[in-house]
Structure 1
């Protein structure tokens, strides 16, 4: 890819499951140091305004496994509209780059499909690409994902809760270590507890299970890049490569440019300066 003019570019950053706009802060500082503007989006049910299960912060966490999520009614369309709203706000910039991480690829893709005129480039950071298979769960259940960590992190029954719920404040050492190995295995150890405590509990079930349709005349016309994470344990490189290959077959008129970063699923935690440089190049 050619070097972008940072002064004319704004990055719209869409987080993944259980994360929020706040997890992009270090990357945004690095982008600002390189002369680039950025805006981070909070998807519904994430960020400081995210509702929590009523017993989550109480001793023993009563009801955590059974209490229906207040996010059960959140749809993929709600999430995409949040992204489109932000894209409209930043359209004054000459170049708008829509960046998504992990499960955020679904809402970002739907936003780009609905409003391709607001997006000049798409960047998927080890993120779900729906061009080959329409649901994130289709890839999570693929053989290529068999080596992924994190399968034991969900608590309760997602169909009953209406959400995929995790317990970032768990006191079980084995659970905490699985969370670290899944998302933050190369984040400085003394930072990990701060990162996990900032996570939300609930991912609306719709984000993982709702089909996202994209078409060649709309989503497919936007230049796109996939940034692979070479030591990703949440979404292994084999699954990342599968999504890239299937999207290229589905939309052969414009193929992914591919770059690779070292390290884990969460480069915004482990190496934000390297991530900012990758976004700009």
Structure 2
């Protein structure tokens, strides 16, 4: 794993640096997770949604925000954002990806008192078999159902960006807009893992967070979010939410799931210009992100724009860490402005 090293619109040149096998293996073992959460909050259920709304498009049908989480997360993480959008009259829905939410794996060894030796090897029945294609197929099915009722604005945070890109490849005509919240948008860079092996990715703090077990054996990236080690909590907070209060970060940490499929960071995550590339898209840069550094975000924006010069990103910037603003209002305001 390579060692870690303005809010104006991105610019510059692009290009994909070669990757090294040693670096890839080390990152796979140590990266742990790129956690997706839209802020601290609480809700429940595999799908969190609202059906209230006032704004309509030119055809008289209201758009729906479909929110897709990233690694070690679930629909629960978007509860504050859904509430904020609902209060302004918008339709919103959050979806659990396969192996998350109601299907999440919480082995007995993860519960108190923890058995850390067993936790390092316990199986994760669903996620050890889950691929990025599984995620995309699942979300595409939800997109098709929502599209019968009106336009779909598909929103992905963090690793959720790789999922919405693949969905864009599959059902471009069912999506009104793609929105990336400090999320992976691969076009020239092939995989999520490769995003951390280019020069811009070396500043990530993810490898500083201790992981558990061997993903080559378990098939999952595993973290002990319930660790009593203060040093672990400090490293996780620095990577995900450095400007949150300790209490706010503990609230978020308590909702994280221990496992994520190891396949996701190695699967082809690239968008195809002929399909994904014709969907209008927006990118919300989180300028304080130390998990997906701002330089990586900007590189992905540049490469996407170069691939589809006639359909460039609509770019916005929020002064926020990887988990987004501590409160949902700033993010909800940007999203509402896209309707």
TM-score (normalizing by structure 1): 0.93
1:141 Cα shift?
A: 2.0
Contact 1:168/1:199, CA 8 A, preserved across alignment: yes
Q: Which one of the candidate residues 78, 90, 101 is aligned to 2:134? A: 78
Q: Partners of 1:150 and 1:48 in 2: how far apart?
A: 26
How large is the Cα RMSD of the aligned pairs?
A: 1.6
Q: Partners of 1:57 and 1:220 in 2: how far apart?
A: 44
Q: Partners of 1:221 and 1:206 in 2: how far apart?
A: 27
Q: Which one of the candidate residues 11, 27, 37 is aligned to 2:81? A: 27
User: What pairs with 1:196-211 in structure 2 (closer than 5 Å)?
Assistant: 196-211=253-268
Matched, 1:135 2:135: no
Contact 1:100/1:127, CA 8 A, preserved across alignment: yes
Bigger-Rg structure (1/2): 2
1:61 Cα shift?
A: 2.6
Contact 1:6/1:280, CA 8 A, preserved across alignment: no
Match in the other structure for 1:6: 55
Matched, 1:69 2:124: yes
Match in the other structure for 1:126: 182
1:95 Cα shift?
A: 2.2
Contact 1:9/1:94, CA 8 A, preserved across alignment: yes
Equivalent pairs counted in the alignment come to: 276
Segments of structure 2 that go 5 or more residues without pairing to the other structure are: 1-53, 57-61
Segments of structure 1 that go 5 or more residues without pairing to the other structure are: none
User: What pairs with 1:22-61 in structure 2 (closer than 5 Å)?
Assistant: 22-61=76-115
Match in the other structure for 2:205: 149
Return 223-232 or 154-163, whichever deviates more: 154-163
Q: Which one of the candidate residues 221, 244, 253 is aligned to 2:278? A: 221
1:114-144: CA deviation from partner (whole Å, max 9, x where unpaired)? 0111101000000010212121111022221
Return 167-176 or 180-189, whichever deviates more: 180-189
TM-score (normalizing by structure 2): 0.78
Q: Which one of the candidate residues 81, 105, 109 is aligned to 2:161? A: 105
Q: Partners of 1:133 and 1:162 in 2: how far apart?
A: 23
